[in-house]
Amino acid sequence: MRARHMNTVLHSSRSPDLVWWGRVRFVLGMAQMAASVVAVVLLFGVGVTAISLTAVVVASSLTSLSVMLFGSRRHRRDRV
């Protein structure tokens, strides 16, 4: 009995560009979540300071970048 590979990217027909954009989307999403957690912790921990507002701006910028690059799901459904 042969073991199946768990990595579907190796055996998929997806183009390398799609795989690259998928990785970018994943990393950007992880950065968004981390930045938003840091911003909320700073806001509750130290209050409204320059560093906490900077964290909010960074988290908001990452979210805006994600929406500009990948759009929203509702918008994609309308195109189909």
Q: Is the pTM of this model over 0.75?
A: no
30 within domain boundaries:
yes
Domain count, the chain: 1
The three-state (H, E, C) secondary structure of 46-66, written as one string: HCCCHHHHHHHHHHHHHHHHH
5 within domain boundaries:
no
Q: What value does the mean pLDDT take over residues 42-68?
A: 94
Helix (H) or strand (E) holding 11: none
25 within domain boundaries:
yes
Cα gap 38→40, rounded to integer Å: 6
What are the tens digits of pLDDT across the range 20-46? 888 999 999 999 999 999 999 999 999
pLDDT for position 12: 59
30 CB-contact burial (10 Å; exposed 0-12 / middle 13-18 / buried 19+): exposed
Owning domain of residue 33: 16-79
